[in-house]
């Protein structure tokens, strides 16, 4: 059993990515460490980039 050290919150904040439904999701900490926006509309983009959709159904 894992001992609760109180550092779990810090560990979560330092993670650069996590897995979700088989996909690697980069955290804001990862993007900040990289140092620039890739303009792919990442879920945790700390640079405020929002990707525009070309699909009429997605715009609604």
Instruction: Point out which residues pair with 17 in neighbouring strands.
Output: 26
Give residue 11's pLDDT. 61
Contacts of 24 (CB under 8 A, 6+ apart): 17, 18
Q: What is the pTM of this model?
A: 0.61
Give the domain ranges of the chain.
8-59
Residue with tokens 């979560």: 12
Task: Give the number of C-alpha atoms closer than 13 A to the C-alpha of residue 60, restricted to the C-beta side.
Answer: 2
What local confidence, expressed as pLDDT, does residue 7 receive?
46
The residue ranges of DSSP E strands in the chain, in sequence order, are: 17-20, 23-26
pLDDT digits (tens, 9 = 90+) for 9-49: 546 667 999 999 999 999 999 999 999 999 999 999 999 99
């Amino acid at each position: 059993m894992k001992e609760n050290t109180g550092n779990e919150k810090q560990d979560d904040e330092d993670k650069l990515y996590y897995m979700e439904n088989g996909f690697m999701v980069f955290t804001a900490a990862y993007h900040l460490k990289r140092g620039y926006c890739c303009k792919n509309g990442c879920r945790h983009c700390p640079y405020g980039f929002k990707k525009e959709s070309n699909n009429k159904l997605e715009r609604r």
